[in-house]
Amino acid sequence: MERVIERGCGLDVHKKTVTACVRVPGANGAREQHVRTFGTTTADLLALRDWLEASGVTDVAVPRDPGGTPSGEAGRG
């Protein structure tokens, strides 16, 4: 049986920014998509956390590059 995530978020992580795409149920039953970009300071990441909590997000996905590191992190020593 396939699991359906009702309130999910995908993150695109870079050195100076994190872009989050949240997909949640809309008022008419269709999916709504909301995209916001945050900085990477502690205050910015806490704002991201607050936004995800306020949106009711239950699952977050971060893509990996072929080397096994989060996107945008390749080449960091």
Instruction: Note down pLDDT in tens along the chain; length 77 residues.
Output: 888 899 999 999 999 999 999 999 998 889 999 999 999 999 999 999 999 999 999 999 998 776 656 555 544 44
- Domain annotation covers residue 55: yes
- Domain annotation covers residue 68: no
- Domain annotation covers residue 24: yes
pLDDT of residue 77: 40
Q: Which domain covers residue 18, as residue numbers?
A: 8-59
**Separation of alpha carbons 15 and 39, rounded Å:** 9
- Domain annotation covers residue 42: yes
- Domain annotation covers residue 72: no
The Cβ of residue 22 has, within 10 Å, a number of other Cβ atoms equal to 20
Contact indicator for 36, 10 with CB cutoff of 8 Å: no
As for how many domains the chain has, the answer is 1
- Domain annotation covers residue 3: no
